[in-house]
Amino acid sequence: DTATTEIYTLSLHDALPTPKKFLKLNRNAMPGYAIFVSSVIMQIFLFFVVMADNIYLAALSISGMMILPPYFFSGLYLWKATLRPEWLRNPSRVRLLRFRVVGVICSINCLWMIYAGGLDLLMLSSWFYLPGFFFYVKVRNRDRRPTPRNVISCFTVAERWQLAAMVACAVMSALFVR
């Protein structure tokens, strides 16, 4: 199954907190612990699907909202790249203008879609982004030697603000979103 393969691959590259358990193969040359973990996770989600009303629509809404921030930041980056033509390979004035228009339209469209979807969904989606920070810290600490003593010191100032905003959104969604 794909989840098991992903867990095993992440362990091979030392991106999971406990890679040794996930690397252990059973007598059939399969990553047994990874199969167990992915099966438990799938069973939990299947339980939620069976027990909750409209869970499919809720999952669809949240996943739709989760793709909007990356699109928004991609549009902002394209817009920023047109302000620094040295970042692009030999851009003509027409291409710079075209890229700038696409970046602005993309950013505005994403903001409108986030507003139309509701800020409650955006805050709720932060719960799904937060676990990624643990993998980020693991890989950042592995690639940057010596390893910092505390977790916060591996982040830049901008990343600390992003993490704080993500935690704040998660807490607010837990308190206010119904």
DSSP string, 56-86: HHHHHHHHHHHTHHHHHHHHHHHHHHHH-GG
Three-class DSSP category at 104: helix
How many CB atoms neighbour CB 71 within 10 A?
Answer: 15
* Nearest CA-CA partner of 41 in 173, 131, 168, 126: 131
CB-based contacts of 160: which residues, under 8 Å, 6+ apart? 152
The pLDDT > 90 percentage for the chain reads 14
12/35: higher pLDDT: 35
* Nearest CA-CA partner of 117 in 172, 67, 64: 64
Report whether 73 contacts 80 (CB < 8 A). Answer: no
pLDDT at residue 143 in the model: 66
Is the C-alpha dihedral spanning 143, 149, 150, 156 positive or negative? negative
Tell me the CB-side half-sphere exposure of residue 59, using CA atoms within 13 A: 9
- Tokens 């905003």 found at: 165
pTM of the model: 0.63
Indicate the average pLDDT of the chain: 79
pLDDT at residue 76 in the model: 93
pLDDT at residue 51 in the model: 66
Report whether 107 contacts 82 (CB < 8 A). Answer: no
- The tokens describing 159, both together, are 């990343």
* pLDDT tens figures, 79-126: 988 888 787 777 788 888 898 999 999 999 999 999 998 888 888 888
CB-based contacts of 91: which residues, under 8 Å, 6+ apart? 82, 85, 99
pLDDT at residue 145 in the model: 55
pLDDT at residue 38 in the model: 78
160/4: higher pLDDT: 160
* pLDDT tens figures, 34-73: 788 778 877 877 776 666 667 777 778 888 888 898 899 9
Asked if residue 168 has pLDDT above 70, the reply is yes
- The tokens describing 25, both together, are 């193969």
